[in-house]
Every structure is written in C-alpha cells, then in structure tokens.
Chains A and B, each alone.
Chain A
C-alpha cells in the first residue's frame, strides 16, 4: 500500500506518520510537500499528519485546507482513494469539506497530551476491520482544539449511518457525543483527533493503533 504523507509548514507528526506507514504498510511511503499539484503515481493512502499547519493561524487547518495539494487530495478521495487525517489532519479534513463538522477549543481550554481510551464503534470500515466492535484501545491525544462540533442534523446523520468510528471512553475535550473519529459517507476518508501512528510499537507504550494500518492493508487487498 503506497502512502503519501502530506507536509505543511508546521506539520510535526509527519515523521511519525511516515514511520508508521513504512513499518506497517509499505516501504515506499513518502513525503509530499503542500505546494505540489499532484500526488505520486499509484498513491493508495493520503496521510494528513498532526501538527500546527501554518501555526494554526486563522483557524486550525484552515490555511492548509486551501493549499494546492488539497485539490489533488480531494480528487483522490472522490475516486474512492483512502484518506487518513490525524489531529491537525482531521482539522484540515473538516476545513476542506471532506468531512462534516468542525473542531473548536477544548472545553477546558488546556492543551492535552496523554493516552486516552477509545471505543471502536464501527469495525466494519476500511480503517477498523482488524478491530472488534466495542473493543477499547489505548491511543495518545495531543491537542488544544479537538472539541468536535456539528449541528444536530449532522450529528444525527453521522450516528444513523454508523459514521462515528471512534468514541472517547472519558471525553477529554467536550466533543459532542464523545466523538473522537468519523468517516465520510462513502467510508474512504477518516478523521480522528487521537494519534494511532504514535501507538504502533510496544516501545511507544501501546500497539493498539497498529490495527488501523492492518485494517487498511487488508481493505486494499480485498478491494
């Protein structure tokens, strides 16, 4: 599985993302700079990493969402290609309209950096097939603006369609319905605030995030 990790000025989890992709998906994973017009030939997965793109000025993810490479990312998503946005990457996905809703300041205003427990709500997506529905996994968070918000109609639609993929066991930031990660309707774009790429080896304290990458690999093989 060929991964393109998009780098924006201010991305800081790009190396973690590349490491996880090379370790668990394919050695060919590579960085792609935000000013590029296109993705590398044969890209299967676009990984929008965490960090503070453009210093989070204006709104987190807002400027990155309007950078040249995002046109190619949207086209990739429209073709059914996989897109994974983690943390700032999730913010970029909502800002670019690839996922509904928005992420605002944490309820308590604090930047939070610690492991949290997530419940896998939907194990029937390309991103979660290797997990069991209801399984609780431990993955770190590191964000100041992870408070998921969408209007009532959007929340009802997400819940009704099974688009809420991960839910916090102890909601750290005030997200509506304890939402930690969602997929688009088609199921090929996932955005989540916690960092699965930082939990892929025992050395990192948890291997629970590896399942997400195993799921993607299996999904690609099985079409």
Chain B
C-alpha cells in the first residue's frame, strides 16, 4: 500500500478546433511573438491515490478516460509517481 501522485493532461484532439488556443496564439503574435505557432490550451489535473501500483493504475485509467476527459473530443494522458 503506497501513496501515489498522478498528473493528468487533457487536450482537445488535434482534429478539433481550439478557439482558446487560437486566440492565445493571435494575442502572442500581437505581442511581437510572431514566431510562436501551434498553441493548444488544455487542462492539467493533479490527484493523490493510495493503494497498490497495479490497482491505482487501473483506477486512474478509468478516472482519466471516463470522467476527466471526454473521448469524443479530447485526448488524455497521465503520469504516476510514488509520493
């Protein structure tokens, strides 16, 4: 039984228009950062879980795919480390 820290990253799928990212990109360009492109705005979620690594990984996969992200329009990945 250990405690783990998870970092979950959720981004819109590449095929989905990201108006927030586009707006930030345009703003950066107006601020003389015209060389910046490909801006995508996503979400970063932190969680702490306790249990065996195997159980926690299964649970985290479920949480990430079924609650924290919407697979219709988002991609999600996670990193897990012992706290």
Contact = CB atoms under 8 A, between A and B. Distances in A.
B55 to A, nearest CB: 21
A100 B19 CA distance: 22
Contacts of A108: 19
Contact of A174 (B17, B67, B70): B17
A215 B49 CA distance: 50
A94 B74 CA distance: 14
A5 to B, nearest CB: 25
Contacts of B20: 105, 109
Nearest to B12: A104
Main secondary structure of the interface of A (DSSP, over half): loop
Interface string A25-62: 00000000000000000000000000000000011001
A94 B72 contact: yes
B36 interface: no
Given A66-B67, A104-B12, A109 B72 contact: no
B39 to A, nearest CB: 14
Interface string A68-112: 000000000000000000000000001100001110111111000
A12 B6 CA distance: 35
Contact of B70 (A66, A102, A105, A151): A102
CB-based closest 3 A-B pairs: A102-B72, A102-B73, A109-B19
27 contacts: A58-B67, A58-B68, A59-B70, A62-B67, A62-B70, A66-B67, A94-B72, A100-B72, A101-B72, A102-B70, A102-B72, A104-B12, A104-B17, A104-B73, A105-B19, A105-B20, A106-B19, A107-B17, A107-B19, A108-B19, A109-B19, A109-B20, A109-B23, A149-B73, A150-B72, A151-B72, A174-B17
Interface of B: 12, 16-17, 19-20, 23, 67-68, 70, 72-73
